[in-house]
A and B are shown apart, each in its own frame.
Chain A
Amino acid sequence: MKSKFHPDKNGYFGQFGGAFIPELLYPNVKELEDNYIQIIESKEFQIEYKSLLKDYVGRPTPLYLAKRLSEKYGATIYLKREDLNHTGAHKVNNTVGQILIAKKLGKTKIIAETGAGQHGVATATVCALMGLDCTVFMGEKDIVRQAPNVARMKMLGAKVVPATSGSKTLKDATNEAIRYWIQNPETFYLIGSVVGPHPHPDMVARLQAIISEEMKWQLKEKTGKENPDTIIACVGGGSNAAGAFYHYMDDDEVELVAVEAAGLGVNSGESAATSQLGEVGIIHGSKTILMQDEYGQIVEPYSISAGLDYPGVGPLHAYLYESKRATFLNATDQEALNAGYELSKLEGIIPALETAHALAVLPKMDLKKDQVVVINLSGRGDKDLETFIKYLEE
């Protein structure tokens, strides 16, 4: 089915997307562009991908009716439990798919960027599984604040390279990954979000689409209807939101809510709420909404959550924002921390700090008792315990 939210032949979602890459990367990107759809749609890929998702990742992930949370907010709230995936977040849906694509293309060396470390861990995991060489670029600042994930990557046999330029976070890790890719064109860049040059945003969205594919039949079973009223997901680059929205984008009756990280406040100067602060620009090979100054220099974002600390947003999300198909809200560090504690105490689930941003908009929404809301619980909070504990002490 062709959707108006799928990219055109040049990789554009409306005015956003494209592939703004140096000539040095053209052959790599072209090779992927020429092959990715054919590979993903092949029977061989689908059998292997679905089998790994089932037996290795542990899918389908449950769709859980959060009764106490529902009671508190006066709605019918389901949690899509991506935190129960192997490695603890939705990121592995994408890495399992991309590693199969990489193998099909005959690649043996894998590189990746990571913010919170979840994508790095998910990449290191599938590389171990397939016996492939893995290098992960991670901002120096993130290496400190997500130490448990750094240890996991190393244990899984990956090399972790600190990105020391710029803000030393996800943006800079991505820069370093792309630079390494330019120098080593034989490597496969296993990108972690719906960002980067076409076809990466579309490829990652297709691989994360399993989230909404499952939501459809799970909701049908539980509520009698495939469609919820509202889907809420946090957005840094936007991969978990892309997956949760994917099969609902053309159903206008389903409200899509994307939640960005407001840091210390949208207008505090310390924020990562790209849609509110950004303008059209180019980052990591994609035309999108970008936080930048009047001369097009990229502004360093801020969020307590390493996974949302990104000055851009995937081109699909820029289009969902511009076309008003999705509603963009945001949550501050403080609101996210509160929401993280609340879910822990009400439902016995410690969410990732990224995910806590999605939960944090519940008090701001005008919810109705019979309104079916699905929150994409993108990851678990083990990696963030230190930050959570520090906050509790304060």
Chain B
Amino acid sequence: MNSIKQLFQQKDKNLLSIYFTCGYPELDDTAQVISQLEKSGVDFIEVGLPYSDPLADGPTIQDSSQKALENGINLDIVFDQLMEIKETNKKPLVLMGYLNQMLKYGEDKFCQKVVDCEIDTLIIPDLPMVEFENHYQALFDKYGITNVFLITPHTSEDRIRKIDSYTKAFIYVVASASITGAKGEISNQQIAYFKRIKAMNLQSKLIIGFGISDKETFNTACAYANGAIIGSAFIKNLGKNGVDKINKFINPILS
């Protein structure tokens, strides 16, 4: 069974996921970031693969990716780092990257490495459904990997139902039609959208992301979904306060 789905069997409310960029702030911080997040009580972790042209990311994650690439990060180093922690890390990991990274690395080689690192869930924001259906579904099935689809306030009901039928981990509910970046608050319009999705009674668990930044926005999101992802706000904090202070960011959110 998919690792995130297994997690949902133990806990299906108020799940906190944190996104971080591999190789940021320092090249070798990956293991420590993951272990600090685990200790702080985060439920699952999104590991960002730094990309030169991250179209679906806002300035904070763009900057962290740029810095990580300047630090010398690459996919081989990422996989080495993840291999080293696979025995000790107990939290499910989700890999987030762009399709070109997988394409260039070699699709089969990439999938095999993912499996070797005991990871089974991918988020590839620029992998569209039609390409998934025509090619990637079979590839991922071969390796027991699944990918997470995103839905937005503009995704039609038919399309959401289709995505629901493909989902083995969770549906990533994009809080607003925007690129990632801490917004500070959740609007009534967004709440209406969360309610609409919740009322669809999908088989998939829902995790809300984009614009979730603190305890308040996290709690609001959790009222309408199984959990939420914090990305940019965490990266900002990481850049400012460093790896040692991760628990100081997480604790107030979970308190």
- Residues of chain A touching chain B, judged by Cβ–Cβ distance below 8 Å, are 10, 18-24, 26-27, 165-166, 171, 175, 178-179, 182-183, 185, 279-285, 290, 292, 294-298
Whether the pair A182, B179 counts as a contact (CB closer than 8 A) is yes
> Which residues in A have their C-beta under 8 angstroms from that of B51?
296-297
Min CB–CB distance A271 → chain B (angstroms) = 17
Whether the pair A296, B152 counts as a contact (CB closer than 8 A) is no
* B52 touches which of A22, A183, A285, A297 (Cβ 8 Å): A297
Whether the pair B103, A179 counts as a contact (CB closer than 8 A) is no
How many residues on the B side are at the interface (Cβ–Cβ under 8 A)? Answer: 39
Apart from A22-B150, A183-B178, A283-B100, list 8 A-B contacts with CB within 8 A: A20-B128, A21-B126, A23-B155, A24-B174, A27-B156, A290-B100, A296-B103, A298-B53
Known: A24-B152, A175-B53, A297-B52. A282 touches B178 (CB 8 A): no
* B154-169 near A? 1/0 per residue, CB < 8 Å: 1110010000000000
Whether the pair A183, B179 counts as a contact (CB closer than 8 A) is yes
- Residues of chain B touching chain A, judged by Cβ–Cβ distance below 8 Å, are 51-53, 55-56, 58, 62, 66, 69, 74-76, 98-105, 125-128, 130-131, 134, 149-152, 154-156, 159, 174, 177-179
Q: Report the Cα distance A20→B127, complex, angstroms.
A: 6
User: Which residue in chain B gives the minimum CB-CB distance to A178?
Assistant: B55
Whether the pair A282, B56 counts as a contact (CB closer than 8 A) is no
> Which residues in A have their C-beta under 8 angstroms from that of B125?
22-23
Known: A280-B103, A298-B53. A179 touches B179 (CB 8 A): yes
Whether the pair B126, A282 counts as a contact (CB closer than 8 A) is yes
> Which residues in A have their C-beta under 8 angstroms from that of B126?
20-22, 282, 285
Interface class of chain A by DSSP: mixed
Min CB–CB distance A14 → chain B (angstroms) = 15
Q: Report the Cα distance A19→B55, complex, angstroms.
A: 14
Q: Report the Cα distance A221→B209, complex, angstroms.
A: 62
* B56 touches which of A22, A27, A165 (Cβ 8 Å): A22
Q: Report the Cα distance A298→B53, complex, angstroms.
A: 7
Whether the pair A279, B104 counts as a contact (CB closer than 8 A) is yes
> Which residues in A have their C-beta under 8 angstroms from that of B101?
295-297
Q: Report the Cα distance A338→B88, complex, angstroms.
A: 63
User: Which residue in chain B gives the minimum CB-CB distance to A185?
Assistant: B177
Q: Report the Cα distance A299→B127, complex, angstroms.
A: 21
Whether the pair B154, A296 counts as a contact (CB closer than 8 A) is no
Whether the pair A295, B104 counts as a contact (CB closer than 8 A) is yes
Whether the pair A294, B104 counts as a contact (CB closer than 8 A) is yes
> Which residues in B have their C-beta under 8 angstroms from that of A284?
55
Whether the pair A23, B53 counts as a contact (CB closer than 8 A) is no
> Which residues in A have their C-beta under 8 angstroms from that of B159?
26
Known: A182-B179, A185-B177. A23 touches B151 (CB 8 A): yes
Jot down 29 A-B pairs with beta carbons below 8 A, ordered by A.
Answer: A10-B134, A18-B131, A20-B131, A22-B56, A22-B126, A22-B150, A23-B125, A23-B149, A23-B151, A23-B155, A24-B154, A24-B178, A26-B128, A26-B154, A26-B159, A165-B62, A165-B66, A175-B55, A182-B179, A281-B104, A282-B103, A285-B55, A295-B74, A295-B75, A296-B51, A296-B100, A296-B102, A297-B51, A297-B101
**Smallest CB-CB A-B distances: 4 pairs:** A296-B104, A297-B52, A282-B100, A23-B150
